[in-house]
């Protein structure tokens, strides 16, 4: 099992290049099979979740060619099976986007029900409600969602009870190939919703209003080929922004859309960092002791839940008491005990973490409970005195391309290791 070994204490300094957004790419890859023409996708992140979804798409018969590390060419004309294998769904929940894509294109789909996930209960009732509103029958049979609309899908008016990124995207995909007009109200506004809409429009769909809370879709009969480049990953960018904050570093984060980072930037400034914005880059300078703050996760443009563990690490090192409220997923504080083992003072009560800042963290052996919490523990290790070993980094590899390589280029002492021998070698090297 891969682990990270980290010798903390170095401020991270330098420049880092951000890749394409994992969560946009997952939706766009699924949508790419909705045409029988060839689709070329660029700026795909080379992370495990993307590679699994590419396999799932190949698994139903589409042609998938990985042209280079960040480019894939997909042709959905050879799809012979509308039933997705549980193997893939088990590994990545986002394979459920194939439900909206297959239902839109073939008017039928069969996708296993995604299992539980480690950040909380993750129902998909809103996705199914949306498909039913579009005229599909949706049943759960033998552990799979079986959706079909033999008479076609019909445009409709859908009000989402809860703001959901996944449900907004899934319904938008299916509605793109329905007859007539669909209106989605209380839609999610995340940049990856907008990117998926832009991608579908580049294939000939007619979607308006993505990025606002009302999305209007005029169904089309066919979609066509396109070349598309995925939007930069705001969560990868935000993670490096907080790595600068927690290590008292100075990082220029390149290839970003600063507008997407506004909620993160605002919090960094509030806790005492300086943030400079350029056209497609941001620079975070952390020169002073960090200050306390309160933060509550909210749908975009609010502070993202995917950035909650990272800010908690910075607040663990800030002066005073901070309060972090998680309002999207109930189980996103699993890093708290690990952080406590590193000397942080974190108390979790329901959906709130109360963090009393300490002067320093100390290295410990910790375990990544999920993707974003795993990345946050790496940041904690980089800021801590001494050696930290992070177990279960397979979660981190799901969503961060070359995490250790990018951190090393910023001056971090970090190594991916697989054996005790390699751990000893690292310890000898760093003295
Ligand atoms: N919800 C429902 N019913 C549904 C769908 C969602 O009640 O049918 C609830 C959820 O339980 C949650 C809230 O709605 O409380 C929002 O969930 P959402 O559907 O927006 O989340 P998601 O689509 O499952 C995506 C990202 C997550 C990210 C969330 C929130 C992907 C593949 N995943 O999940 O990313 O945290 O949006 O922004 O896009 C990550 O990358 O680490 C990650 C977990």
User: For 341-380, what is each residue's pLDDT tens digit?
Assistant: 999 999 999 999 999 999 999 999 999 999 999 999 999 9
Task: Kindly report the protein residue whose alpha carbon is nearest to atom 27 of ligand 1.
Answer: 306
CA-169 nearest atom, ligand 1 = 23
Residue 92 has pLDDT above 80, yes or no: yes
- Count other C-beta atoms under 10 Å from residue 289's C-beta: 13
Given 77, 78, 115, 117, which residue is catalytic?
117
331-364 in b/e form (b: 16+ CB < 10 A) is bbbbbbebbbbbbbebebeebebebbbbeebebb
CA-330 nearest atom, ligand 1 = 15
User: For 190-240, what is each residue's pLDDT tens digit?
Assistant: 999 999 999 999 999 999 999 999 999 999 999 999 999 999 999 999 999
12 CA to centre of ligand 1 in angstroms: 31
Cα-only R_g, the chain: 22
Is residue 117 part of the annotated active site? The answer reads: yes
Q: Is 127's C-beta closer than 6 angstroms to any atom of ligand 1?
A: yes
Element (H, E) at 64: strand 63-68
299 CA to centre of ligand 1 in angstroms: 10
Residue 135 has pLDDT above 90, yes or no: yes
CA-127 nearest atom, ligand 1 = 8
CA dihedral 96→99→104→105, nearest 10 degrees, is 110
Which tokens in the block code for residue 9? 């204490």
- Count other C-beta atoms under 10 Å from residue 424's C-beta: 12
Q: 3-class SS at 386?
A: coil
Q: Is 387's C-beta closer than 6 angstroms to any atom of ligand 1?
A: no
Task: Kindly report the protein residue whose alpha carbon is nearest to atom 39 of ligand 1.
Answer: 23
User: For 54-76, what is each residue's pLDDT tens digit?
Assistant: 999 999 999 999 999 999 999 99
Residue 116 has pLDDT above 60, yes or no: no
Q: Is 30's C-beta closer than 6 angstroms to any atom of ligand 1?
A: no
Residue 146 has pLDDT above 80, yes or no: yes
329 CA to centre of ligand 1 in angstroms: 8
User: For 17-44, what is each residue's pLDDT tens digit?
Assistant: 999 999 999 999 999 999 999 999 999 9
Q: Is 167's C-beta closer than 6 angstroms to any atom of ligand 1?
A: yes
Q: Is 328's C-beta closer than 6 angstroms to any atom of ligand 1?
A: yes
pLDDT reported for residue 117: 52
User: Whole-prediction pTM value?
Assistant: 0.97
pLDDT reported for residue 93: 84
Q: 3-class SS at 247?
A: helix
Q: Is 23's C-beta closer than 6 angstroms to any atom of ligand 1?
A: yes
């Amino acid at each position: 099992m891969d682990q990270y070994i980290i010798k903390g204490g170095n401020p991270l300094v330098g420049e880092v290049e951000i890749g394409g957004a994992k969560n946009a790419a997952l939706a766009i890859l699924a949508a790419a099979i909705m045409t029988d023409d060839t689709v070329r996708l660029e700026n795909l992140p080379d992370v495990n979740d993307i590679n699994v979804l590419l396999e799932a798409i190949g698994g139903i018969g589409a042609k998938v060619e990985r042209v280079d590390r960040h480019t894939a060419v997909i042709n959905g004309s050879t799809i012979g099976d509308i039933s997705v294998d549980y193997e893939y769904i088990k590994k990545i929940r986002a394979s459920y986007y194939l439900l909206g894509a297959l239902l839109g294109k073939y008017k039928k789909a069969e996708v296993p029900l995604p299992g539980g996930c480690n950040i909380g209960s993750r129902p998909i009732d809103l996705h199914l409600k949306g498909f039913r509103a579009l005229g599909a029958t949706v049943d759960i049979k033998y552990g799979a969602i079986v959706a079909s609309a033999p008479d076609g899908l019909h445009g409709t008016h859908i009000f989402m009870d809860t703001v959901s990124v996944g449900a907004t995207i899934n319904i938008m995909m299916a509605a793109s190939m329905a007859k007539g007009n669909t209106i989605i109200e209380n839609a999610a506004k995340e940049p990856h919703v907008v990117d998926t809409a832009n991608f579908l429009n580049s294939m000939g769909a007619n979607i308006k209003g993505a990025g606002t809370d009302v999305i209007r879709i005029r169904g089309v009969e066919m979609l066509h080929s396109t070349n598309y480049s995925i939007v930069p990953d705001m969560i990868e960018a935000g993670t490096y922004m907080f790595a600068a904050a927690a290590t008292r570093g100075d990082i220029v984060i390149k290839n970003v859309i600063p507008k997407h980072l506004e909620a993160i930037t605002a919090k960094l400034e509030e806790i005492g960092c300086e943030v400079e914005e350029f056209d497609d880059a941001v620079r975070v300078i952390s020169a002073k002791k960090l200050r306390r703050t309160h933060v509550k996760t909210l749908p975009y443009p609010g502070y993202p839940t995917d950035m909650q563990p990272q800010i908690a690490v910075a607040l663990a090192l800030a002066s005073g008491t901070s309060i972090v409220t998680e309002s999207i997923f109930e189980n996103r504080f699993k890093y708290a005990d690990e952080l406590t083992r590193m000397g942080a003072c974190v108390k979790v009560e329901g959906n709130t973490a109360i963090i009393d800042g300490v002067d320093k963290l100390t290295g410990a052996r910790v375990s990544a409970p999920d993707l974003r919490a795993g990345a946050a523990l790496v940041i904690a290790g980089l800021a801590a005195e001494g050696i930290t070993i992070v177990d279960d980094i397979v979660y981190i590899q799901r969503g961060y391309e070359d995490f250790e390589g990018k951190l090393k280029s910023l001056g971090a002492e970090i190594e991916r290791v697989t054996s005790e021998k390699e751990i000893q070698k690292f310890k000898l090297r760093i003295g």
